[in-house]
C-alpha cells in the first residue's frame, strides 16, 4: 500500500531529479498508520529511550512513532528555531553548507532512535548523529520511510539503518 502512496515528481527541485513526494501517504490515514506501525517494528522499543526527528518531515514520522511506542521526542531544527541553549553542527550540501541545532539538555545519557522521512546522501543524518552524541546521547539506529539506495547514504552512517521503502 505504501508504494502506491509515494508520488514521483519529475524535475523537482531541479531538472533531472525525481522527487519522492510523501504528501499522498501523509493524507491517507491507513497508509500513514501502516508506515508508523512498520517503523515501530523495525527497532525494539526497549532498545531506546527517546526518538529524535529532523526538521521538518522527520517531525511527522518521529512524533507519530513516539506516541505509538510511548516514548518522548527530541527535535533537531534549523538554526535560531529552538528557544533554549543549543549545540550546532554544520555539514556539506551539494552546493554549500547547512547547519542544524539541538537543545544542550535534549539527550544526555539517553539511547536515541533517529527518524527522518528520507535517506538520500546521508549528510543530514550523519550530522544529526554527531550532534546527538555531542549533547551526550547514544544513537542506536536510524529509521526512514524512504531510502534512495543508489545514493548509498547509509555508508555515511555508523549505526544500523532501517527503511520502509527502498528505491
Q: What is the CATH number of the domain that holds 98?
A: 3.40.50.2020
pLDDT of residue 96: 81
The pTM assigned to this predicted structure is: 0.96
pLDDT of residue 93: 80
Question: Do the domain assignments include residue 16?
Answer: no
pLDDT of residue 116: 98
pLDDT of residue 88: 98
Question: Do the domain assignments include residue 101?
Answer: yes
Question: Do the domain assignments include residue 17?
Answer: no
Question: Do the domain assignments include residue 28?
Answer: no
Question: Do the domain assignments include residue 12?
Answer: no
pLDDT of residue 127: 98
pLDDT of residue 112: 98
Task: Calculate ∠ Cα 21-73-79, nearest 5°.
Answer: 70
Give the sign of the dihedral formed by CA 146, CA 149, CA 152, CA 156.
Answer: positive
Where b means 16+ CB within 10 Å and e means fewer, 108-136 reads: eebebbbbbbbbbbbbbbbbbbebbeebe
Question: Do the domain assignments include residue 91?
Answer: yes
| 114 bridge partner residues | 52, 142
Q: Name residues of the chain where pLDDT drops below 70.
A: none
Number of domains into which the chain is organized: 1
Annotated active-site residue in 46, 89, 94, 147: 94
| 111 bridge partner residues | 138
Distance, CA of 143 to CA of 138 (rounded, Å): 15
Question: Do the domain assignments include residue 148?
Answer: yes
In the residue annotation, 46 being an active-site residue is answered as: no
**Which residues constitute the domain of residue 65?**
42-166
| 21 bridge partner residues | 7
Residues 6+ apart with CB under 8 A from 25: 2, 5, 6, 31, 32, 35, 145
Ordered alpha helix ranges (H), 13-83: 23-27, 29-42, 57-69
pLDDT of residue 89: 97
Annotated active-site residue in 57, 89, 101, 147: 57
In the residue annotation, 57 being an active-site residue is answered as: yes
Amino acid at each position: 500500500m505504501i508504494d502506491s502512496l509515494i508520488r514521483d515528481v519529475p524535475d523537482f527541485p531541479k531538472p533531472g531529479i525525481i522527487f519522492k513526494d510523501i504528501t499522498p501517504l501523509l493524507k491517507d490515514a491507513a497508509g500513514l498508520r501502516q508506515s508508523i506501525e512498520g517503523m515501530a517494528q523495525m527497532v525494539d522499543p526497549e532498545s531506546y529511550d527517546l526518538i529524535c526527528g529532523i526538521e521538518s518531515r522527520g517531525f511527522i514520522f518521529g512524533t507519530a512513532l513516539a506516541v505509538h511506542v510511548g516514548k518522548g521526542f527530541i527535535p533537531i531544527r534549523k538554526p535560531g528555531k529552538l528557544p533554549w541553549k543549543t549545540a550546532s553542527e554544520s555539514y556539506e550540501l551539494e552546493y554549500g553548507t547547512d547547519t542544524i541545532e539541538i537543545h544542550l539538555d535534549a539527550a544526555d545519557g539517553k539511547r536515541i532512535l533517529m527518524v527522518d522521512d528520507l535517506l538520500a546522501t546521508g549528510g543530514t543524518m550523519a550530522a544529526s548523529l554527531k550532534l546527538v552524541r555531542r549533547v551526550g546521547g547514544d544513537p542506536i539506529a536510524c529509521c526512514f520511510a524512504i531510502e534512495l539506495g543508489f545514493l548509498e547514504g547509509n555508508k555515511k552512517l555508523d549505526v544500523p539503518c532501517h527503511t520502509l521503502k527502498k528505491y
